[in-house]
Amino acid sequence: MLNWVNHLGNVAWERARMRTPEETAGGPRYVPALGYHFLTPLYDTVIALMTRESTWRKALIKQIAADQRDVVVDVGCGTGTLAVMLKRTSPYTTVYGIDPDPGVLGLAEIKARDKGVLVHFMQGYGAEVAERAASLRVTKVVSSLVLHQVPLDGKREILANMHAALKPGGEIHIADYGLQRSALMRLLFRQIQNLDGYRATQANAEGIVPVLMEEIGFDGVRENRVIATPTGSISLYSGRKAA
């Protein structure tokens, strides 16, 4: 596993040296799945192999506990796995998936269609998430494996937009790499750091996510579960926007 992920990291580094002039001049406005667009088709396979995906996603779905009254927005929905699972688990819940990457949204739409569920997928960046969600009366915002990929300011921005998107009393639910508590978990997490970069990921490994959630203004922030995986531990967090 280590050698394979290191290989993906080396491929991504070589791709970075061949960026288009537009990418080099301005840089991408978002981090694509697995860091680079050309790796997007591998995303679902890699996540399944590297993260004990079935375990933590089922735990997150249980934590969210969506019902027919909920309007749920999956921020950074990627290929739509979580959004589709939410809809299949709670068919009368209204589910939206927002992501800036049109490539992964295309995969998400195919996945929802194949599973026979209706999820509303929308392309959006940063503050657009809050703006688009403002009229939806969102009761729960969720995110999985997004925050560890972005720099510290980006983590704050994403969480602030999630807070703004929620109606008073709404809930936030996050699954992501969190505090790596043991030497083994820190060693395994280096695979993710090789792939997604040390600068963005290290803050997660030091336990920054719940700290930022509280700074943004979420109440009752909790780390509900820690799940060991072949690439480090994934934490499930929750909080609430004041009523």
State the pLDDT confidence band at 50, using cuts at 50, 70 and 90: confident
Q: Give strand pairing partners of 161.
A: none
Mean pLDDT of the chain, nearest integer: 84
- Rounded to whole angstroms, how far apart are CA atoms 140 and 42? 29
Q: What is the pLDDT of residues 77-134, one digit of tens each?
A: 999 999 999 999 999 999 999 998 998 999 999 999 999 999 999 998 756 666 766 6
Report how many domains make up the chain. 1
Q: Answer whether residue 166 shows pLDDT above 70.
A: yes
Which whole number is the average pLDDT over 54-68? 97
Which whole number is the average pLDDT over 200-208? 97
Q: What is the CATH number of the domain that holds 170?
A: 3.40.50.150
Note down the domain range covering 53. Answer: 2-240
Q: Can you give the pTM of this predicted structure?
A: 0.83
